[in-house]
């Protein structure tokens, strides 16, 4: 049986990340809340919430950590062709809640989601504060792809993405990376690696290396939203 440290409601402190479990990888603590202050402190420490409906809030800091350095973005030949065709229109911070709800929709026959109503409310609050951002990919007037995450200092913490058309989420991601690169962002946190992310140039680094980057870049002044995209991608 796993015994977890429990976060106190009257403090924003977290246990040292070195105390996170190896199995399941990165599980650090339970409890607390999803207040803007706690969430921003957590992300700057390399910690994020992930839990399912009916569970307590669980906090994670996996090792290794999947990240993408903007200069390492890989655009495949097929994705480049999609970008050149210009069949999608990409916006930023225009439909945050719609993007989150699309990311929350069950996938591949799964019945549940980790994006609970409480998560939706918490990240929407951060969006209204200019901290959380969404990328929307449109085909005519239909939302066919997108992603959302937080920006603290010069680090973007990606949370989730969705696609309803070929390469739509990848197109949105390429536009985001181009903008972040222009703003001299150091890193995009991808949390846990996947074939999809690795195909775009993501890689894994140690928790220790990730936390050092956060110390150097996540406490810098942030670029508050709403954001607007103005960088070419080709």
Contacts of 83 by beta carbon, 8 Å cutoff, 6+ apart:
75, 171, 174, 233, 234
Average of per-residue pLDDT values in the chain: 95
Domain ranges (residues) in the chain: 6-62, 66-217
- 3-class SS at 26? coil
Domain spanning 6-62, CATH class: alpha beta
Q: How far apart are CA 151 and CA 145, in angstroms?
A: 20
Q: Locate 175 and state its tokens.
A: 């536009």
**Per-residue pLDDT tens digits for 188-210:** 999 999 998 999 999 999 999 99
Q: How far apart are CA 198 and CA 176, in angstroms?
A: 16
Q: Write down the pLDDT at residue 85.
A: 95
pLDDT > 70: what percent of the chain?
Answer: 97
Q: Locate 150 and state its tokens.
A: 């937080």
Beta-bridged to residue 135, according to DSSP, are 92, 147
For the stretch 50-71, what's the b/e string if a residue is b when 16 or more beta carbons lie within 10 angstroms of its beta carbon?
A: bbeeeeebbbbbbbbbbbbbbe
**Residue 4 pLDDT > 80, yes or no?**
yes
Domain spanning 66-217, CATH class: alpha beta
> Would the pTM count as exceeding 0.85?
yes
- In angstroms, what is the C-alpha Rg of the chain? 17
**Residue 98 pLDDT > 80, yes or no?**
yes
Q: How far apart are CA 65 and CA 211, in angstroms?
A: 10
The residue ranges of DSSP E strands in the chain, in sequence order, are: 6-7, 27-31, 48-49, 58-60, 65-68, 89-92, 132-139, 142-152, 155-163, 187-191, 203-205
């Amino acid at each position: 049986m796993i015994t977890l440290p429990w976060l106190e409601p009257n403090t924003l402190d977290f246990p040292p990340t070195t105390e996170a479990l190896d199995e399941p990888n990165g599980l650090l603590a339970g409890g607390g809340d999803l207040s803007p202050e706690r969430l921003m402190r957590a992300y700057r420490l390399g910690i994020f919430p992930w839990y399912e409906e009916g569970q307590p809030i669980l906090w994670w800091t996996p090792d290794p950590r999947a990240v993408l350095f903007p200069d390492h973005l890989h655009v495949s030949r097929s994705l480049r062709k999609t970008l050149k065709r210009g069949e999608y229109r990409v916006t930023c911070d225009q439909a945050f809640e719609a993007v989150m709800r699309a990311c929350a929709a069950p996938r591949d026959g799964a019945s549940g989601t980790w994006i609970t109503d409480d998560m939706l409310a918490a990240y929407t609050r951060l969006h209204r504060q200019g901290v959380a951002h969404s990328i929307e990919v449109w085909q005519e007037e239909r939302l066919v792809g997108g992603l959302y995450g937080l920006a603290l200092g010069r680090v973007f913490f990606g949370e989730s993405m969705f696609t309803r058309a070929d390469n739509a989420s990848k197109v949105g991601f390429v536009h985001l990376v181009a903008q972040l690169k222009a703003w001299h962002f150091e890193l995009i946190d991808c949390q846990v690696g996947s074939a999809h992310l690795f195909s775009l140039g993501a890689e894994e680094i140690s928790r220790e290396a990730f936390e050092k980057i956060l110390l150097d870049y996540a406490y810098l002044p942030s670029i508050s939203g709403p954001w607007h995209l103005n960088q070419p991608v080709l």
